[in-house]
Amino acid sequence: MARFFKNREKSKGQSPGALIFIGDQKVDSVKTRVIDYDSSTLTDQELLDIKDGSHFKKTETVTWININGLHNIEFIGEVGRVFDLHPLVLEDILNTGQRPKVEEFDSYIFIVLKMIRFDKETEMIVNEQLSIILGENFLLTFQEQPGDVFEPVRERIRKQKSRIRGSGTDYLAYALIDTVVDNYIYIIELIGEKIEDLEEEILLGHDPGVMERINLFKREINYLRKSIRPAKEAILNLSRLDSDLFHENTMPFLKDLQDLINQATEAIETYRDLLTDQLNIHNSVMANKMNDIMKILTIFAAIFIPLTFIAGIYGTNFEYLPELHYKYSYFIFWAVMIIMAGGLLFYFKRKRWF
């Protein structure tokens, strides 16, 4: 299956809002974890029945419910019924090829982003869709599989005197998005170091696999660009929302998010241009090496053409060839050949042709 687009064959001809999972199943069963807190209390536990989540909608505490696994359509449908989610939102959650975006509804905000990681063995980018539902006192996150970049946020929640413990769901949503964007920059830096190291290998011209690595990193940078450029647009739209769900105190943090995502997109464009330059340099180095090879071959050809001419004449089978029976003809023949070859080499050297 193509990495840049998901196979949407199952959804062809289906009505809008139909619950169809588009993507790869990455877990055997869905796991749900709830973190409920305020400035003085904290509960962190597994939620065995999603119907129990309706209890947290009525509390004054901040509730973060994280769901790992999207393949169970019945479960996602039940989440939608418990939290009154629109069918089109559920459809987008199940479509793991969804473009990053922000949509505002009457009682919640729907956010889609991509979480990424860098596989150091294959040197390839792996992404995962993250869907966020921001309500008045609850926040839902949907992930394709366990493992994420949110552990620092969980550690901050565990600290009673942290800012996040005294803030609402809007600040929690900001903290999660901020962590995702920070990870973007971290991944770009990892790839950027490898791209910059390529330049020395290119100039030396000894590694035959450098062209393959340039193309690999160009593909991965484009893959990153596909995830991060729409995220920039989504974060910009998020900061422009006129919603009661975002308190005035949180808005400056959303502005800071714009700076971070701008930094990420600019870095991607920089490394994209750098890879193009490196490809041009590599082609120039290879062309220069080929020119040097052709120059040497041409010089040797120029030397041996007259020698071949002389040898061709004296290698004929005429009976009355001049100097044929002369005692020193053989030595004279070699002397003429060596003098002519040496003279040509001297001439080429003076012309700086090699």
281 and 302, same domain (yes or no): no
Cβ atoms of 272 and 195 within 8 Å: the answer is: no
Looking at 285, 316, 334, the residue that finishes a domain is: 285
Closest listed residue to residue 195, CA positions, set 270, 103, 86, 89: 270
Helix, strand or coil, per DSSP, at residue 323? coil
Q: Could you list the residue range(s) of the whole structural domain that residue 303 is in? A: 298-350
131 lies in the same domain as 265: yes
Q: Residue 39 has what pLDDT? A: 87
Averaged pLDDT of the chain:
85
Q: Taking a C-beta distance cutoff of 8 angstroms, is the pair 123, 216 a contact?
A: yes
Pair 321, 244 in one domain: no
- Confidence label for 283 from pLDDT (cuts 50, 70 and 90): confident
Q: Which two tokens stand for residue 257?
A: 């998010």
pLDDT at 162: 86
Asked if residue 245 and residue 114 are part of one domain, the reply reads: yes
Q: Is residue 292 assigned to a domain?
A: no
The whole-number pLDDT of residue 14 equals 66
In the chain, DSSP finds a helix count (H) and a strand count (E) of 7, 7
How many Cα neighbours within 13 Å face the side chain of 352? 0
In a domain, 40, yes or no: yes
Please check whether residues 241 and 328 belong to one and the same domain.
no
Q: Are 125 and 204 members of one domain?
A: yes
Higher pLDDT, 207 or 215: 215
Give the CATH number, domain containing residue 91: 3.30.460.20
Percent of the chain past pLDDT 70, that is, above it, reads 91
The total domain count for the chain is 2
pLDDT in tens, 94-146: 998 889 999 999 899 999 999 999 888 888 888 899 999 999 889 999 998 88
> Is residue 227, in this structure, part of any structural domain at all?
yes
Residue 161's SS3 state is coil
What pLDDT score does 179 carry?
95
* pLDDT, tens only, 164-195: 988 999 999 999 999 999 999 999 999 999 88
Count of other CB atoms within 10 angstroms of residue 127: 18
Question: Is 290 inside any structural domain?
Answer: no
Spatial separation of the C-alpha atoms in residues 206 and 154, rounded to whole Å: 48
The CATH number for 340's domain is 1.20.58.340
- Higher-pLDDT residue of 236 and 120 is 236
* One domain for residues 88 and 219: yes
Domain membership of residue 154 (yes or no) is yes
> 303-338 pLDDT, tens per residue?
888 888 777 777 766 566 676 677 777 787 788 888
Whether 234 and 333 map to the same domain: the answer is: no
What pLDDT was estimated at residue 324? 67
